[in-house]
Amino acid sequence: MENSDRKLLIIGGSAGSLSVILDLLKNLEEPLALAMVIVVHRKASTSNILPTLLQQFSPVDILEIDDKMELQDNKIYVAPADFHLLFEDGNSMALDRSEKFNYSRPSIDVTFRSAAEIFRENLTGVLLSGANADGVEGLMFIKRYGGKVWIQDPGTAEVDFMPRVAVENVDYDLILSPKDLAKRINEL
């Protein structure tokens, strides 16, 4: 696969991650010198209100991903409920309805792995609060391909299982508190 020069940051989270994401959005500085993707576990029946809710807190445009949507810098993309998010190349995203992975669709692992193969050292993966291990294996792929791995400090997580398993099993670059997340992203 071709390596993309585009910088990409993917945030994965589950139970307890929404408050961290909202705080992050309030403190982002525009323009972002990268594209940002948010993958959070949601019920399949969930309406697509999440991007509208997030937009109220963000200076950057937030879009729910459609199949074959083009990836652009200075935009935040939200994976839709009940679809896996894949990257076809450095410019385009695809949606997939294959079986759940780690009991989840969208699966953070599936998205992290797909992105790692294309964005390599230009990828930063962030794993937040959550109640299962989805995302841990994907962080290992990001690291293997030269990307950066950031994990929420389990002591600050509403549900610490996901970040705790990641800290215990992944060669990470940063353990960060929610208040440090926006600052670090603004520095990228």
Sorted by where each begins, the domain ranges of the chain are 8-187
Residue type, 70: E
pLDDT digits (tens, 9 = 90+) for 49-93: 899 999 999 999 999 999 999 999 999 999 999 999 999 999 999
Residue 42: C-alpha distances to residues 16, 23, 81, 145 (Å) = 12, 19, 6, 28
Q: How far is it, in rounded angstroms, from Cα 81 to Cα 85?
A: 10
What burial letters (b/e) apply to 2-15, b meaning 16+ CB within 10 Å? eebebbbbbbbbbb
Note if the bond before 106 is cis, omega within 30 degrees. yes
In this structure, are strands 93-96 and 75-78 parallel, antiparallel, or unpaired? unpaired
**Cis amide linkage into residue 59, ω under 30° from 0:** no
Positions marked catalytic? 14, 41, 134
pLDDT in tens, 145-181: 999 999 999 999 999 999 999 999 999 999 999 999 9
Provide the pLDDT confidence category of residue 47 given band limits of 50, 70 and 90: low
Residue 49, pLDDT score: 86
C-alpha 17/C-alpha 58 separation (Å) is 16
C-alpha span between 40 and 137 (Å, rounded): 16
pTM (2 d.p.): 0.96
Count Cβ neighbours within 10 Å for each residue of 101-123 and write b for 16 or more, e otherwise.
Answer: bbebbbbbbbbbbbbbbbbbebb
Report the share of the chain in percent with pLDDT over 90.
90
Q: Evaluate whether 163 touches 130 at the Cβ level (below 8 Å).
A: yes
| Residue count (the chain) | 188
* Cβ atoms of 34 and 10 closer than 8 Å: no
User: Has residue 46 got a pLDDT over 70?
Assistant: no
Kindly report the CATH number that applies to the domain delimited by 8-187. Answer: 3.40.50.180
Please say if the pLDDT value at position 126 is more than 90. yes
Query: How do residues 3-19 score in pLDDT, each as one tens digit?
Result: 678 999 999 999 999 99
